[in-house]
Amino acid sequence: MILAGAEFRIPTPIRFPFLGPLGFEAYIDAGNVWMRPEHITWDDFTSRSELDPDAVRVVAGFGPRIELPIGPLRADITWRWRPERSHDKLQSAIGPSF
Amino acid sequence: MNFQRFHIEGSVIEPWLLRSRNRGLVTPYFERYDDRADPSWVKHFRYQGVNFQLRRELNRFTRVTIGQDNLWAWQKFTATHVDSTRSDTIIPPQYTTHRLSLSFERDLRDNPFTPSHGSTTRLVAEIAGGPLSGTSSFRKYQVGGTWYTPMKNGWILATRASAGVIDPFGPRPSFSTSEGTPRWRACRSRTAFAPAASTPSGTTARTPFPPAATAVSR
């Protein structure tokens, strides 16, 4: 198993007091699970076949966030980017993303 | 509206166990999870269990935890476009996992809720099954880290990486239907991006799950 991700968190450039906790984030996550380390090949990172179990899954998303005392309240529009593009989805959560 | 995940847990904490610097936690939990990432399938999961932890703070930033987790899981895949009976042939309806874990965590973040700089490191070793019983027996080792890098204009770049290996041992589990016909044999592993503050299992809705043909468990 190898997992990796990167996330940009971008605070609102407008610093009005009531907008202070409001921010914006964009992220990309990627990963997969392989049976053996020797099964990991470069093709797994370029495969566009949904039926390829070794193809690296990549998910991207973006959305606003509000900082609360118990952690950020997030709402994201997300979609699977690889191996095949999926429909957009809306998801929300409370708490740090990681 | 369909909720993707419902999770509830509660912990009983003894901060000074036996008047020592060790913290004890008992955490029962319940989770229902419907995965609709693939429009062809709805994967229904129900997890319940109890987790015991003994934690020691080595210093302000570092802690070591010994855990014992008992998980009872039920799962069902419902096909939305194809013959629904197919799911019965590849998915075990239920399984149990009993595991021991030893973890080392180092947290150098400036804020656990909204970190702007710092990093975390986590090393986990687990053993499940064997003398602990349960459906599957395996050893699992994971290492992970997150890094928060402040950039210009107040932007923050947050990166993370984790990797692990799982090593099944012992007899392979077999699953049977009520008729007694073995239909599914495999050793399974599910690992997800793991924010420590979310669930005992450390799952998030952003996990890029393997395809339906890859059985998932934890």
Per-residue pLDDT tens over the stretch A56-93 = 888 888 888 888 888 888 888 988 888 888 888 888 88
User: How high is the pLDDT of residue B154?
Assistant: 77
Which residues in chain A touch residue B194, judged by CB atoms under 8 angstroms apart?
Answer: 98
Higher pLDDT, B18 or B103: B103
Q: Do A71 and B195 touch (CB under 8 A)?
A: no
Closest partner residue to A10 (CB to CB) among B155, B209, B214 is B155
Which residues in chain B touch residue A72, judged by CB atoms under 8 angstroms apart?
Answer: 113-114
Residue A30 binned pLDDT confidence (cut-offs 50, 70, 90)? confident
When mean pLDDT is compared over A69-78, B13-22, B135-144, B195-204, the highest value belongs to B135-144
Maximum separation of any 2 CA atoms in chain B, in Å:
64
Per-residue tokens: A94: 């409370």
Mean pLDDT of B194-209: 35
Q: Do A7 and B159 touch (CB under 8 A)?
A: yes
Q: Is the pLDDT of residue B122 over 80?
A: yes
Maximum separation of any 2 CA atoms in chain A, in Å:
54
Q: Is the ipTM of this complex over 0.85?
A: no
Per-residue tokens: B136: 């599957």
DSSP per-residue string spanning B162-209: EEEEEEE-SSPPEEE-TT--EEEE----------TTT-TT---TT--P
User: How high is the pLDDT of residue B198?
Assistant: 32
Neighbours of A81 (CB within 10 A): 17
Q: Do B155 and A59 touch (CB under 8 A)?
A: no
Query: Among residues of chain B, what percentage have pLDDT more than 90?
Result: 31
Half-sphere exposure in the Cβ direction for B33 (13 Å, CA): 21
> Chain A: nearest CA to B43, how far in angstroms?
17
Which residue of chain B has the CA closest to A82? B208
- Cis-peptide, bond into residue A83, ω within 30° of zero: yes
**Are A97 and B204 within 8 A, CB to CB?**
yes
User: How high is the pLDDT of residue B173?
Assistant: 66
Q: Is the pLDDT of residue B213 over 90?
A: no
Q: Is the pLDDT of residue A40 over 90?
A: no
Residue B180 binned pLDDT confidence (cut-offs 50, 70, 90)? very low
Which residue of chain A has the CA closest to B188? A35
Q: Do A32 and B208 touch (CB under 8 A)?
A: yes
| Sign, Cα dihedral of B203, B207, B213, B214 | negative
Mean pLDDT of B37-51: 87
Which residues in chain B touch residue A10, judged by CB atoms under 8 angstroms apart?
Answer: 154-156
Q: Do A30 and B208 touch (CB under 8 A)?
A: yes
C-alpha–C-alpha distance, residues A30 and A66, integer Å:
25
C-alpha–C-alpha distance, residues B70 and B52, integer Å:
9
**Are A42 and B200 within 8 A, CB to CB?**
no
At B59-83, the pLDDT tens digits run: 889 999 999 999 999 998 888 776 5
* Distance, C-alpha B50 to centroid of its chain: 13
Neighbours of B194 (CB within 10 A): 22
User: How high is the pLDDT of residue A38?
Assistant: 77
Token pair 């003894």: residue: B14
Q: Which residue numbers of A have CB closer than 8 Å to B's CBs?
A: 1-11, 13, 27, 29-33, 37, 50-51, 53, 57-59, 61, 67, 69-72, 76, 78, 80, 86-87, 91, 93, 95-98
